[in-house]
Chain A
Amino acid sequence: MQDREQQWAADMRAAQAGSGEAYMRLLNSVSTSFRQFAALDLRRFGLQPSDVEDVLQEILLAIHLKRHTWRADHPFAPWLRAIIRHKLVDFVRRRRRRGELPLEDFPDIHPVPPVEPSFSTPLRHLLGDLPRRQREVVEELGLGGASVADTAMKLKMSRGAVYVAFHRGLAALSARFERDRS
């Protein structure tokens, strides 16, 4: 526990100084810890195992966008815990608002076997349902293959906002995909 805190703090300090290597080690280590924690505790929050990676990605993104708010002379774990809790609560709240219920509540419905992604569902049609910003970013980045920096400049958004919009947009798209298929 103590070792991990020291390792995280050291890696974050290096990351804030610009080390991508330390940053990747940190994010991977945080991911591993989160997956372990999630495996034990996720049901308590009303989440499904398939949500783990989604929440984790939102958490990683939040760590990235708010990394300047960690103070090197403060412990890392409380900062991380606060961000994780914040994102977890946010995720669960959004899920509830959309009215999606855990699969466990419907024992008679069997999960559909995963199919290879295809474009038989008109992607453009699904894109049209996204909020404007998300749609533009997904079009630029995901379909157009533009870089984050170019997209940020073109849409006059910060890079962070582009990441967030891209991530949210993809998450919303995949949710739509699932619903259309079932």
Chain B
Amino acid sequence: MNTQQLIHTLASDLQAGAGPARSRPRWPRLAAMTGLASLVSLAAIVLLLAPSPHLAHGPSATIGFSALAGAALAAGAFWATLKLSYPEGRLGLGWLLLPLGILLLGLGLEMSDTPSSSWSAGLWGASPAACFLCVIALSLPILAAVLVALRDGAPTHPQLCGAMAGLLAGGIAAALYTLHCPENSLLFVASWHVLAVLTVTIFGALAAGRWLRW
């Protein structure tokens, strides 16, 4: 097929009105898919897992800070994912300072409030592996939905875009998981939950490298 023929074919295809021709804002679809999948993860927590014992008297500082950090991470990652889903999108990471700052602030408060002898117990908690795996499992439906929503995008850095999608999914899952997490230390959250989020980020990058190529 020569190039001139191809151009003719493409133009007649355009006029046949095939495919998503018009430029629509991409965020509503991404937000809808993210929201729906988040509901799935939320339902799994509510239906399958016991509520956190620390919720009984209103959210504790641990829950508050980790939920807030997770939400800030998700919001920033949503924006970064959206941006990278356009061909000319570039990565910005400055927004990461917000969730990190929230987590570090909470961590500082907790460590100044508790004796250093209790830190080790707080860090290891009772169920590090279970929480690590739970956060990952809760992230996966969200990650899958985000990747599906990204398929009609055009990321020229698919791995980076997928990594941001992983941060988005991980941030939401970590925030939701505070509804269940039986641990009551930000040291625990900052290590195990963050480790889980980073793992999901790697999953996202690997999956996007395969599925978001075009």
Contact = CB atoms under 8 A, between A and B. Distances in A.
Given A23-B11, A159-B13, A68 B22 contact: yes
Given A68-B21, A68-B152, A61 B86 contact: no
Q: Which 5 residue pairs spanning A and B have beta carbons closest together?
A: A82-B87, A66-B154, A86-B156, A20-B11, A82-B88
Contact of A24 (B11, B23, B154): B11
A66 B22 contact: no
Interface string A1-37: 0000000000000011110110110011001000000
Contact of B13 (A17, A68, A69, A148): A148
B10 interface: yes
Interface of A is mostly: helix
Interface in B1-40: 1-3, 6-24, 26
B22 A16 contact: yes
Contacts of B1: 57, 167, 170
B125 interface: no
By CB atoms of chain A within 10 A, which of B8, B12, B13, B26 has the most? B13
Contacts of A65: 19, 214
A20 B3 contact: no
Given A83-B156, A85-B156, A64 B13 contact: yes
B21 A61 contact: no
19 contacts: A16-B21, A16-B22, A17-B22, A18-B15, A18-B17, A20-B15, A21-B11, A24-B8, A27-B11, A31-B3, A31-B7, A61-B10, A64-B14, A65-B19, A66-B87, A67-B14, A81-B88, A148-B13, A163-B13
Contact of B12 (A20, A72, A160): A20
B153 interface: yes
B19 to A, nearest CB: 6
Interface of A: 15-18, 20-21, 23-24, 27-28, 31, 53, 56-57, 60-62, 64-72, 74, 78-79, 81-83, 85-86, 148-149, 158-160, 163, 167, 170
Contacts of B214: 62, 65-66
B23 A16 contact: yes
A82 B153 CA distance: 13
A78 B21 contact: no
B7 to A, nearest CB: 5
A159 B19 contact: yes
Nearest to B20: A68
A158 B153 contact: no
Nearest to A17: B22
Given A18-B15, A20-B12, A64-B13, A79 B88 contact: yes
A68 B14 contact: no
B22 A158 contact: no
Contact of B3 (A56, A69, A83): A56
B21 A79 contact: no
Contacts of B12: 20
Contacts of B15: 18, 20
Nearest to B22: A16
Contacts of B10: 23, 27, 60-61, 64
B11 A70 contact: no
B7 A60 contact: yes
Contacts of B87: 66, 69, 79, 82-83, 86
